[in-house]
Structure 1
């Protein structure tokens, strides 16, 4: 089947945090249209595809992406016109060759990835099917269990909570509608629990969860458990953590910040193990710095009650995943296609992981748009878990509605049963 690309158009838009982003539209001779926009993260690994910004402080404080848009229109578009929309590999390889750098720094990972998404969607549109069915190669049978980032760490006025995301995982149900209702109910109850603890309303954090009320992760988790218990969901909702430890790692002393003190990799691993013995974690992500390979190997050995996932360590890149597998450094990885910069490369990482028994957890980024292609990955690949944000802002709510719509549109579809994966 052949359907040629006839147009590749780009413009600057803004993401959910009002930061400029590249949006691309790809059109084919059959009339198919695909649209794509690359998201950006708050916690960004040093090995991720480069986000090209203008650096002109007079507009959007230097964050504009007109150079990336220009690269799409003047360099990428002429090279792709006439190519077969169904040959995603050739499209992506052409852009990779045009760029010629390891991390897509010349043309911009945001430019290349936006085109890659748009082409992928145009291919599905040419076949008049949802992109997730195009990925699945037919009807889906499951939708993933969504994981909700309800309390956010970070640097606050009086303290720093070094663990980045505290998540709830509503998994003891076979209904996506019920799983979402459980999470929303707990999130709303958590407002009351935190208000009583703080004697004031909790702040909204930059990722739209509640701002952490304490620098002690154990305190945060107990408050989350209290909200779960008060909602009557005891034993039906588990936890997950995204530590994003590279953000608070000091390379000179090789130490991490934890509860206001500097600790070694060994101590952080031991602390995570202690937490995992008190609380039921489905996974712990980014426990250590992105270059602490020895530490990750030790974490996998010494924390048996949860899955250890890489994010900044693996950056959705095949070569990094191959190393992680060979060194037994992770049980799985966070699948963020924009980290590596093309659909084809992200698929390579996923298929390698699936073949080796490593779990893949698709995740959006903090700076996204409503139509995030990661949701098509989540549903089309029929993975067990998917990371979402807090059920508060529009693009995050849309992800939940996406799951419910896909489930309703697919006969005999159900929520993925993750019980064989949990280790507690």
Structure 2
């Protein structure tokens, strides 16, 4: 098939955290249109693709992206006009060559990725099919189990909860509709449990989950279990953690913050192992610092009741994934296409992981947009599970509706059965 790109236009929009983002629109000869905008994370690894912002403090505190908009229209656009929209690899490689830096610093990873999404969507539009069917090469048979970030860590008055995300994973059903209902019911019940525990309503945290009421992870998991049990879903909902430990790592002392104390890699691994003996975990993500490869190798060996996943460690880059596979550092990785900066590179990372028995877990970013392309990845690649955030706020709710719609429109589709992957 061939359908040539005729125009690339861009503008500044705002993401769900009201931070500027570059949005790109690609049009083709046949009249197909694709639109794309790169999300931005709150917890961002040092090895991720560069985000190009203006740095002018007088507008949006320096976060505006007018330079990125200009580069999309003046540099990338003219180079892509006339190219076949179906040749995603050639388009992405052309942009990588135009940029010429290892981390996309010249044109901006956010600029390149937004164009990459737009061309990907235009190709699907040219075929008049959903993008997830374009990715799958046909109909999909499964949709992923959504994972919900219900309690958020971070710095609070009087304490720091060093683990970033406490998640529930509603897996004990073959229905996506019921899976989502279970999570929403437990999330609402957890609000009551926390109110009773605190003596007042819990705060809404920055990622829209409940603010952690304690610096002790075990206390939080106990409250979450209480909510699950009260809803009658015992044995149907398991846990997951995103520790984001690079955020609390001190390179000088080589220690981590845990329950107001500094602990070593070995102590943190031992603590995580203890948690997994008391609670059922599907996965633990970013348990250690993004450069602590030796620690990950040990953790992956010793934590035998959960999957160990990399995010800041692997940043959706093929060379990092190859190293992780060869050293047995993790069982899988968090798939965030904007970390690497093009659709092609993200798909290459996925294909490597999939062919080497590693799990890929697509995830949105905290600074996302309503129509996040990561949902098409999740459904089109037919992965076991994905990260969704808390069931609160528009762009997160839309992700859940996306899964229910995709499932309803795909004959014979069902929720992915993750039981064979569970280690507990």
TM-score normalised over the length of structure 2: 1.00
- CA-CA distance at 1:388 after TM superposition: 0.4
Which residue in 1 is equivalent to 2:98? 98
Tell me the distance in 2 between the aligned counterparts of 1:216 and 1:69: 44
Tell me the distance in 2 between the aligned counterparts of 1:369 and 1:359: 25
- CA-CA distance at 1:312 after TM superposition: 0.2
- CA-CA distance at 1:299 after TM superposition: 0.2
Which residue in 1 is equivalent to 2:139? 139
Tell me the distance in 2 between the aligned counterparts of 1:65 and 1:205: 27
What do the CA deviations read for 1:9-67 (whole angstroms, capped 9, x no partner)? 00000000000001000000000000000000000000000111111010000000001
- CA-CA distance at 1:158 after TM superposition: 1.2
What do the CA deviations read for 1:329-348 (whole angstroms, capped 9, x no partner)? 00000000000000000000
What do the CA deviations read for 1:305-363 (whole angstroms, capped 9, x no partner)? 00000000000000000000000000000000000000000000000000000000000
SS in 1 for 2:347: helix
What do the CA deviations read for 1:137-174 (whole angstroms, capped 9, x no partner)? 00000000000000000011111000000000000000
Which residue in 1 is equivalent to 2:76? 76
After superposition, residues 22-101 of structure 1 pair within 5 angstroms as: 22-101=22-101
Superposition RMSD in Å: 0.3
Structure 2 residue 9 is matched with structure 1 residue 14:
no
Gaps of 5+ in 2: none
Structure 2 residue 409 is matched with structure 1 residue 415:
no
Tell me the distance in 2 between the aligned counterparts of 1:273 and 1:40: 31
After superposition, residues 314-325 of structure 1 pair within 5 angstroms as: 314-325=314-325
Which residue in 2 is equivalent to 1:274? 274
What do the CA deviations read for 1:287-318 (whole angstroms, capped 9, x no partner)? 00000000000001110000000000000000
Q: Kindly report structure 1 stretches of 4+ aligned residues shifted beyond 3 Å.
A: none
Tell me the distance in 2 between the aligned counterparts of 1:155 and 1:76: 41
After superposition, residues 164-313 of structure 1 pair within 5 angstroms as: 164-313=164-313
SS in 2 for 1:160: strand
Tell me the distance in 2 between the aligned counterparts of 1:411 and 1:107: 42
Tell me the distance in 1 between the aligned counterparts of 2:172 and 2:159: 35
Which residue in 1 is equivalent to 2:355? 355
Which residue in 2 is equivalent to 1:108? 108
Tell me the distance in 1 between the aligned counterparts of 2:156 and 2:55: 27
Which residue in 1 is equivalent to 2:154? 154
TM-score normalised over the length of structure 1: 1.00
What do the CA deviations read for 1:76-131 (whole angstroms, capped 9, x no partner)? 00100000000000000000001111110110000000000000000000000000
Tell me the distance in 1 between the aligned counterparts of 2:361 and 2:269: 22
SS in 1 for 2:128: coil
Tell me the distance in 1 between the aligned counterparts of 2:150 and 2:67: 36
